[in-house]
Amino acid sequence: MAESWAQRLTAFDLQADGSLANRRDWARFDPPDAGTSGQPAGWGCAPDGMALDAEGAVWVADAANKRALRVREGGQILEELRAGDLDVIACALGGDDGRTLFLCTTPDFRLPPEEAARTRPARVLTCQVDVPHAGRP
């Protein structure tokens, strides 16, 4: 589960009855300047939509920093893809071989709904990645 405001990814164990147990941090994204600059802390990462890959890492949309990150459990960032001036709000792995990363982007996710409906600024960007999606269990 992505918790944008808490800057973390949370994991659970799935029980036989379908319930969730053992809530724990899967990855934490501390602000890069937390407590070091005397200024208010920035956003290390505001995780939003995410996609699991075949190696157990996740691609996560970083809504605060205009990028997508491939992250390993524990928080190690393996790859970073920047989206220029676009906010990245969701991502998915798919395509014929599961190696197409889809990024849902917008120039400004705070745009009023009426303006967004009129201008349709959102875009889906794609790129090829090395590790495919996790597949089906």
Q: Looking up tokens 């941090």, which residue turns up?
A: 25
What pLDDT was estimated at residue 132?
Answer: 95
Alpha helices in the chain (DSSP H): 113-119
**Mean pLDDT of the 21-46 span:** 72
Q: Delimit the domains of the chain by residue range.
A: 2-128
By mean pLDDT, which of 21-25, 117-121, 123-127, 131-135 is the weakest? 117-121
- Give the pLDDT score at 130: 96
The pairing of beta strand 100-106 with beta strand 87-94: antiparallel
pLDDT tens-digit map of 74-129: 999 999 999 998 999 999 999 999 999 999 998 876 778 888 788 887 899 999 99
User: Does residue 49 contact residue 109 with C-beta atoms inside 8 Å?
Assistant: no
Question: Which pair of structure tokens corresponds to residue 133?
Answer: 């999606």
Number of other CB atoms surrounding residue 10 within 10 Å: 16
Rg (CA), the chain: 16
Question: Cα–Cα–Cα angle for 23, 57, 95, nearest 5°?
Answer: 120
Q: What is the pLDDT of residue 32?
A: 57
Q: Mean per-residue pLDDT for 22-48? A: 73
pLDDT value at residue 41:
53
Confidence class for position 44, pLDDT limits 50, 70, 90:
confident
- Which of 23-37, 41-55, 120-134 is most confident? 120-134
Judge: domain 2-128, CATH 2.40.50.100: no
